[in-house]
Amino acid sequence: DTGVSQNPRHKITKRGQNVTFRCDPISEHNRLYWYRQTLGQGPEFLTYFQNEAQLEKSRLLSDRFSAERPKGSFSTLEIQRTEQGDSAMYLCASSPDRSSGNTIYFGEGSWLTVV
C-alpha cells in the first residue's frame, strides 16, 4: 500500500481557467476528505465522502468547486473559473470506516498557484 496519492503535485494556472485534482485513497478506505491549506494556516475542511456519497460540504466550497467520487475509490476536485484566492494546497485524506483511533491519513497535497 503506497498511501494516499495525489496528482498533480503542483499546478500553475491562469485566472479563469479550470483545474482538476485527483486523489487515490488508501485501498479499502471508505472515507475520503478534501482539505485546503494556505500558508501559515492549518488544513480547512472542504468536503467528505463515504464511499461514493458526498455527505458533508463546507461553506468554503463555493459553487465553483465540485468534488466527485464516482465509484467510491478515487476522487476528483475540480475548480472552475479559478481566482487568485484559490491559490493553496489541496490535501486529500482517507480513513477506513472503523479506523483505530479514527485517524485520517493524508496525501502529499496538490499545490495550486493561480496567476
Partner 1 sequence: AQTVTQSQPEMSVQEAETVTLSCTYDTSENNYYLFWYKQPPSRQMILVIRQEAYKQQNATENRFSVNFQKAAKSFSLKISDSQLGDTAMYFCAFMKHVRTGNQFYFGTGTSLTVIP
* Separation between Cα atoms, residue 3 and residue 105, nearest integer Å: 8
Q: Which of 33, 34, 65, 90 binds partner 1 (CB under 8 A)?
A: 33
The answer to whether residue 108 forms part of the interface with partner 1 (CB under 8 A) is yes
**Residues facing 112 on adjacent strands:** 11, 88
User: By C-beta, is 42 or 85 nearer to partner 1?
Assistant: 42
Stretch that binds partner 1, among 20-28, 62-70, 76-84, 96-104 (CB under 8 A): 96-104
The answer to whether residue 12 forms part of the interface with partner 1 (CB under 8 A) is no
Q: Which of 67, 88, 109, 110 binds partner 1 (CB under 8 A)?
A: 109
Residue type at 4 in one-letter notation: V
- Please confirm whether the linkage preceding 8 is cis (ω < 30° from 0): yes
Q: Which of 77, 91, 112, 114 binds partner 1 (CB under 8 A)?
A: 91
With contact defined as beta carbons under 8 Å apart, do 60 and 48 qualify? Answer: no
Contacts of 63 (CB under 8 A, 6+ apart): none
Q: What are phi and psi of 99, to 5 degrees?
A: -75, 140
Q: Which of 2, 14, 27, 42 binds partner 1 (CB under 8 A)?
A: 42
The answer to whether residue 107 forms part of the interface with partner 1 (CB under 8 A) is yes
